[in-house]
């Protein structure tokens, strides 16, 4: 667990410090004509936590990839430490003192913490015959672990660590390379609520060591907890850079979106008496899920909360037909579906929003149109013998319009050309468009902005109002509490507690998520 800043560290940054980074009229236009950045100008002060916020497609990822040497700007000028800055490769950015912790971990699972941290720098620990001095390597990494007050060991293997510890290793890798400018991309997405506070304290500790932190997050509560200044992007342009004291959550959200936004949400009650999905004592062949039972009613949103790795992914795969059961049964409208494959389950009324749109939800190299009809192209809706292009195009355009998917002018463009948030909106729109009896949604708003999140949430409410049941699996507890009529917490593959709205308490749920409470009830079933 992160324990905060080292003893004796200063408590805040000086407001008189000069910028370490200055962007002046930076623009980026992709080969397909998409203008991702339009004359972006802002600065980051040395030793501050600087939050970058904006809708998906606002240009945050493009800007960070330029700073990290992955993309070149089309025009404009960047200075870093008072020198012109135009890295052609991430290695150049790293050499200049810039490090980036990506949202998706880039660790080698089979080797140790120390080996991951020094990866690419092993030669400094090799003797004359090329053998690595493990004791010297571990000692070098251990000294930084102690300085940062992390509760991990250099000998730990990555595959044996929980998600929160793996994130520590990613940050450790960056800081080990004498980095003084750290970019954190959605760093709390994998953490349980009770771990977030400690992590945010740790980030302020990095700042108080003299490091500069760029903090990218869609969770405005976290931004306001630790940021010194906030830069807001909207559709590739800078709306403004503000001291935190001069703005609030609502004003920032409004500037991100361009319209007034109500951040408060609560579950709506469209629950009917009829049971649409019944899961009875299921265990899966991987041994993760253990005797899980629950019922889903028509019009109900049933949320599953839990720290990553406690059975959420397996639950999704079992319901989707991608993972076999070792025992138990699944009934859709009273009929068993265990023997049906994914496509057959679609035909009888299931729809799926996967947790990994790039690998499992969409085909990145196929067109926007092809992705819009995927999974239903054999249904006859788009032609009996061959796909009717006019029907497919019209269907795609309806999703684009209904879900504000920003695609540019050509819907035959590969879907990978879209921003992550626009890909997600396309995926959500596709699955909801078929009016499923049950929608199984895993991490449906992971990494998306405030506007896209609200749009997706509103679409879920419309779907539940129409009578569809929704299984919501999310690592974002706030999202579950906003939408779900009931919440079941999974811990080590078992249901440990069920709560019904309005009897939700973040702290209590966090205790169940991390096993502090409820593990003695892990054999309970709920309906």
Which single residue is written with the structure tokens 């913490």?
Answer: 113
Tokens of 335: 């009929």
**Residues 222 and 122 reside in one and the same domain:** yes
Is 34 part of a structural domain of the chain?
A: yes
- Determine, yes or no, domain membership for 11: no
Q: What is the DSSP letter of 503?
A: -
Residue 5 located in a structural domain: no
* 182: DSSP letter: E
Whether 166 is covered by a domain: the verdict is: yes
Residue 296 and residue 419 in one domain: yes
Tokens of 328: 């138990």
Task: Identify the H or E element spanning 452.
Answer: helix 450-465
Domain boundary (201, 224, 257) is at 257
Give the Cα separation of 52 and 302 in Å (integer).
33
Q: Are residues 327 and 411 in the same domain?
A: yes
The verdict on 293 and 159 lying in the same domain is no
DSSP string, 249-282: HHHHHHHHHSS-------------SSEEEEEEEE
Same-domain check for residues 216 and 347: no
Do 194 and 324 belong to one domain? Answer: no
Do 363 and 217 sit in the same domain of this protein?
A: no
Q: Does 481 lie in the same domain as 374?
A: yes
> Do the domain assignments include residue 268?
no
- Min mean pLDDT across 41-50, 134-143, 155-164, 258-267 is at 258-267
| pLDDT at position 519 | 58
Buried b / exposed e across 480-513, counting CB within 10 Å, b at 16+?
bbbbbbbbbbbbebbbbbbbebeebeeebbbbbb
The CATH number that applies at residue 28 is 3.40.50.300
**Mean pLDDT lowest among 4-13, 103-112, 344-353, 495-504:** 4-13
User: 53 near 224, Cβ under 8 Å?
Assistant: no
Sheet holding 275-284: strands in order across? 292-297, 275-284, 325-332, 335-336
Find the domain containing 190 and state its range: 19-106+113-257
Side by side, the strands of the sheet bearing 237-243 are 98-101, 181-185, 212-216, 49-54, 229-234, 237-243
pLDDT, tens digit (0-9, with 9 covering 90-100), for 258-298: 655 455 578 889 999 999 999 999 999 989 999 999 999 99
- Reported as a single tens digit per residue, the pLDDT across 350-380 is 999 998 888 888 998 999 999 998 877 766 6
Q: How far apart are CA 64 and CA 462, in angstroms?
A: 35
Residue 411 covered by a domain: yes
Asked if residue 8 is part of any domain, the answer here is: no
What's the pTM value of the predicted model, to 2 decimals?
Answer: 0.61
CB 440 within 8 A of CB 416: no
Asked whether residue 193 falls in the same domain as residue 303, the answer is no
DSSP-derived pairing of the beta strands 181-185 and 212-216: parallel
Q: Find the distance separating the first CA and the last CA of the chain, reported in whole Å.
A: 35
Provide the domain count of the chain: 2
Helix (H) or strand (E) holding 332: strand 325-332
Q: Are residues 325 and 286 part of one domain?
A: yes
Same domain, 283 and 243: no
d(Cα 102, Cα 344) in Å, to the nearest integer? 37
Of the three residues 196, 230, 257, the one that is the final residue of a domain is 257
237 with 201, same domain? yes
Domain boundary among 196, 225, 257: 257
- The single-letter DSSP state of residue 384 is S
Secondary-structure percent of the chain, ordered helix, strand, coil, rounded to 5? 35, 25, 40
Is residue 9 in a domain? no
Average per-residue pLDDT in the chain?
A: 87
């Amino acid at each position: 667990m992160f324990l905060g800043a080292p003893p004796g560290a200063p408590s805040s940054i000086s407001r008189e410090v000069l910028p370490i980074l200055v962007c002046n009229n930076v623009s980026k236009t992709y080969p397909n004509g998409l203008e991702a950045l339009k004359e972006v100008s802002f600065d980051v002060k040395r030793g501050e936590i600087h939050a970058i916020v904006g809708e998906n497609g606002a240009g945050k990822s493009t800007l960070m990839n330029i700073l990290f040497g992955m993309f070149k700007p089309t025009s404009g000028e960047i200075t870093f430490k008072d020198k012109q800055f135009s890295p052609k490769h991430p290695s150049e950015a790293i050499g200049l003192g810039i490090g980036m912790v990506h949202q998706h971990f880039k660790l080698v699972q089979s080797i140790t913490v120390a080996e991951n941290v020094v990866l690419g720098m092993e030669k400094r620990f090799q003797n004359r015959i090329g053998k690595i001095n493990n004791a010297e390597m571990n000692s070098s990494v251990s000294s930084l672990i102690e300085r940062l007050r992390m509760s991990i060991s250099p000998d730990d293997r990555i595959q044996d660590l929980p998600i929160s510890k793996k994130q520590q290793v990613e940050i450790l890798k960056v800081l080990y390379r004498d980095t003084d400018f750290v970019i954190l991309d959605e760093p709390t997405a994998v953490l349980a609520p009770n771990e977030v506070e400690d992590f945010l304290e740790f980030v302020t500790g990095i700042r108080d060591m003299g490091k500069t932190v760029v903090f990218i997050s869609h969770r405005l509560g976290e931004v306001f907890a630790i940021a010194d200044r906030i830069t807001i992007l909207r559709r590739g342009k800078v709306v403004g850079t503000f001291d935190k004291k001069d703005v609030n959550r609502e004003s920032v959200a409004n500037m991100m979106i361009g319209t007034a936004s109500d951040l408060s949400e609560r579950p709506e009650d469209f629950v009917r008496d009829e049971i649409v999905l019944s899961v009875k004592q299921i265990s899966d062949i991987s041994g993760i899920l253990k005797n899980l039972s629950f019922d889903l009613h028509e019009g109900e949103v049933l949320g599953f909360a839990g720290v990553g790795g406690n059975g959420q992914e397996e639950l999704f795969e079992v319901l989707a037909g991608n993972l076999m059961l070792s025992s138990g049964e699944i009934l859709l409208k009273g009929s068993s579906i265990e023997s049906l494959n994914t496509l057959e389950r679609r035909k009888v009324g299931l729809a799926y929003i996967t947790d990994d749109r790039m690998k499992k939800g969409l085909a990145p190299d196929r067109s926007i149109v092809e992705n819009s009809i995927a999974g239903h192209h054999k249904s006859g809706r788009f032609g009996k013998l061959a796909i009717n292009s006019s029907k497919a195009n019209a269907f795609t355009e309806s999703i684009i319009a209904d879900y504000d998917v920003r695609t540019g002018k050509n819907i035959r463009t590969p879907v990978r050309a879209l921003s992550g948030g626009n890909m997600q909106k396309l995926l959500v729109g596709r699955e909801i468009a078929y009016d499923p009896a049950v929608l199984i949604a895993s991490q449906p708003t992971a990494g998306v902005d405030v506007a896209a999140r609200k749009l997706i949430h509103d679409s879920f409410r419309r779907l539940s109002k129409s009578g569809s049941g929704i299984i919501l699996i999310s690592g974002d507890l706030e999202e579950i509490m906003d939408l779900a009529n009931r919440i079941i917490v999974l811990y080590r593959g078992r249901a440990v507690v069920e709560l019904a709205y309005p009897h939700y308490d973040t702290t209590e749920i966090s205790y169940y998520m991390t096993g502090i409470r409820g593990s003695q009830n892990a054999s309970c079933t709920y309906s």
